[in-house]
């Protein structure tokens, strides 16, 4: 892995396809995938995460930084951030509490991470997709790459054509707000062995919430609004 002290996602925006092809040709039968930590923070994965965060835009977190300000900020500050990440001392900032009205009444609580943490979360999510997605139900279409609502409708139509006449509409009340951190991390650890990645994921779960100027501890739940 290249030294992040010398190369940042911004500095390497023009990665050469030729280098990737040459690397593939030099792989042997003994080739092994790199540790998940290296995959998460590889130049290619970070650049893809950066572009995704910039494209999604979104509101600033507690530090007020916008997505437009993220790339130049990284160019100056990534070496320090990386040093903390690699040493295991990086602490995600609390998310900013935002409430939005529900269509049927009431309010939904969202957590808006600062854009730097959005970048890191997106990089983690991208690396975890090939680890977990193949094991998900074939009938699940929400927030999965290469799947859409149109495909879900087709599956539903086929079920009707096969003679099924019942559908169940289920919504678990405040499900994300009540996720047990230990139970969640135990499930993640079944497929993720990299201790550094597991430690960072837990720190995001426990980062806390900034509400009305005070930080509230995150003892359970996963804030809606994070990268998924």
Q: What's 144's DSSP letter?
A: -
Distance, CA of 71 to CA of 96 (rounded, Å):
21
Distance, CA of 58 to CA of 30 (rounded, Å):
43
CB 86 within 8 A of CB 96: no
All residues at 6 or more sequence positions from 123 whose CB lies less than 8 Å from its CB, including other chains: 40, 41, 45, 46, 49
Query: Cα separations (Å) of 225 from 45, 117, 181, 194?
Result: 21, 12, 17, 25
Read off the pLDDT of residues 54-112 as tens digits, 9 standing for 90 and up.
Answer: 999 999 999 999 999 999 999 999 999 999 999 999 999 999 988 888 887 778 888 99
Residue in the block written with tokens 């169940």: 168
Q: What's 30's DSSP letter?
A: T
Query: Cα separations (Å) of 186 from 20, 128, 182, 189, 193?
Result: 35, 15, 6, 5, 11
User: Would you give per-residue pLDDT tens digits along the chain (228 residues)?
Assistant: 445 444 554 444 433 334 444 444 444 455 566 899 999 999 999 999 999 999 999 999 999 999 999 999 999 999 999 999 999 999 999 999 888 888 877 788 889 999 999 999 999 999 999 999 999 998 899 889 889 999 999 999 999 999 999 988 888 888 888 999 999 999 999 999 999 999 999 999 999 999 888 898 889 999 876 544
Q: In degrees rounded to 5, what are phi and psi of residue 104? A: -100, 20
Q: What's 14's DSSP letter?
A: S
All residues at 6 or more sequence positions from 54 whose CB lies less than 8 Å from its CB, including other chains: 67, 68, 70, 71
pLDDT at 151: 94
Give the start-to-end residue ranges of the domains of the chain. 29-137+175-216
CA angle 54, 74, 211 (to 5 degrees): 70
Which contiguous run of DSSP H or E holds residue 85? Answer: helix 67-87
Q: In degrees rounded to 5, what are phi and psi of residue 95? A: -85, 155
User: Rounded to 10 degrees, what is the CA torsion of 178, 94, 48, 85?
Assistant: -110
CB 92 within 8 A of CB 117: yes
User: pTM for the full model?
Assistant: 0.80
Three-state secondary structure call for residue 95 = strand
pLDDT at 8: 52
């Amino acid at each position: 892995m290249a030294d992040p002290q010398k190369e940042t996602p911004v500095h390497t925006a023009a990665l050469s396809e030729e280098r990737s092809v040459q690397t593939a040709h030099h792989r042997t039968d003994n080739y092994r995938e790199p540790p998940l930590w290296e995959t998460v923070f590889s130049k290619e994965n970070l650049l893809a995460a950066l572009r995704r965060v910039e494209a999604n835009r979104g509101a600033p977190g507690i530090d007020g930084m916008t997505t437009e300000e993220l790339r130049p900020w990284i160019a100056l500050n990534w070496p320090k951030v990386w040093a903390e990440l690699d040493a295991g001392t990086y602490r995600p900032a609390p998310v900013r509490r935002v409430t939005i009205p529900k269509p049927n009444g009431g309010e939904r609580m969202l957590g808006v991470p600062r854009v730097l943490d959005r970048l890191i979360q997106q990089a983690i999510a991208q690396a975890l997709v090939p680890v977990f997605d193949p094991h998900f139900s074939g009938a699940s279409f929400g927030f999965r790459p290469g799947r859409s609502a149109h495909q879900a409708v087709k599956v539903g139509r086929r079920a009707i054509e096969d003679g099924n006449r019942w559908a169940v509409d289920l919504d678990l009340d405040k499900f994300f707000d009540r996720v047990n951190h230990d139970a969640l991390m135990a499930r993640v650890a079944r497929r993720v062995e990299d201790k550094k990645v597991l430690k960072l994921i837990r720190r995001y779960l426990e980062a806390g919430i900034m509400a009305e100027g005070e930080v509230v501890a995150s003892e359970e739940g996963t804030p809606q609004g994070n990268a998924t």
